Amino acid sequence: MEQVVSQIGIKGIREGLLVTVPDRGSFADLLTLLKVELAEKQAFLQGSQVALQVGYRNLSKDELQELQALFEQNQLELWAVLAEKPSVREAARELTLATRLSGSQTDLNGNFLWQVVAPETAVSAQNPSQGGLILKETLRSGRSIYHEGHVVIIGDVNPGAEIVASGDVIVWGRLRGLVHAGALGDETAVICALELSPTQLRIANQIAISPEGKRGKAIPEQAAIRNGQIVAEMWQR
């Protein structure tokens, strides 16, 4: 049996999660690898919408339905399949799945427009979850960000917005929503903000809620786990 030679990658995107699978190995191997990955990270991923990037892997309509069912079993919604092979894109469309991301460098059929993509901006499919996610915007109520790595927000995080990251979360603005850092169990993760007034903070398995009542003058603060609980302290560079 041919072995799958690369791992599954998961990263946060505007539409939810981008799951990249290796395009080598049998379909049975892919199912096994994906089942293990989703089971390990179910608490981190559940409730998300998923775009599945399959590269040159050849998948039938029945196989796509199996993958769709697997995601549903893990409380995930498969809404898009990004594929290089036209036959796979056609099978995805028969299942009413999208075949491109909004704003992506593809035509309406999902064909990549490589000639307009600068080499330095191309995303590596081999390590899609490497590095941090940087967003220059204010996250408004109802907006959710999920990322396997560090997250930096240049802007505010409003009440009703949430960020879930496996690494650190840094907000260059006011943090008033929900933030979960170290979501895969990293107790060394930290949450930093110019104004730390969250509805809820989580680091690994620890949870903290901001006290009620008005606070004094806002100062940059860092939240971290100290002696088994989340504490806020002055954010020093």
Q: What is the pLDDT of residue 143?
A: 84
* Model pLDDT, residue 131: 58
Domain boundary among 121, 143, 161: 121
- Strand boundaries in the chain, DSSP class E: 9-13, 16-20, 49-55, 77-83, 133-135, 144-147, 151-153, 162-165, 169-175, 178-181, 191-196, 200-203, 206-208, 221-226, 229-234
What's the CATH code of the domain at 154? 2.160.20.70
Residues 108 and 166 in one domain: no
pLDDT of residue 160: 84
- Choose the final residue of a domain: 64, 86, 121: 121
pLDDT, position 23? 85
Do 87 and 63 touch, CB atoms closer than 8 A?
A: no
Alpha carbon of residue 94 to chain centroid: 27
Angle of CA points 32, 37, 43, to nearest 5°? 135
128 in a domain, yes or no?
no
Would you say 95 and 68 are in contact if contact means Cβ atoms under 8 Å apart? Answer: yes
Q: Do both 107 and 15 map to the same domain?
A: yes
93 and 19 part of one domain: yes
Assigned domain for 2 exists: no
Query: How do beta strands 229-234 and 178-181 pair?
Result: unpaired
Q: Give a yes or no: residue 4 inside a domain.
A: no
Whole-number pLDDT of residue 221: 94
Q: How far apart are CA 3 and CA 22, in angstroms?
A: 11
Tokens of 52: 């599945």
Helix extents (H) in the chain: 27-40, 42-45, 61-73, 86-94
Residue 185: partners with Cβ closer than 8 Å, 6 or more residues away: 204, 205
- The reported pTM is 0.51
- All residue ranges of the chain with pLDDT < 70 are 1-6, 101-131, 211-216, 237
Gap between the Cα atoms of 146 and 181, Å rounded? 10
Final residue before a domain boundary, out of 121, 153, 172: 121
Q: What is the CATH number of the domain that holds 38?
A: 3.30.750.50
Closest CA to 190 of 151, 219, 157: 151
Domain membership flag for residue 220: yes
Residue 188 pLDDT: 94
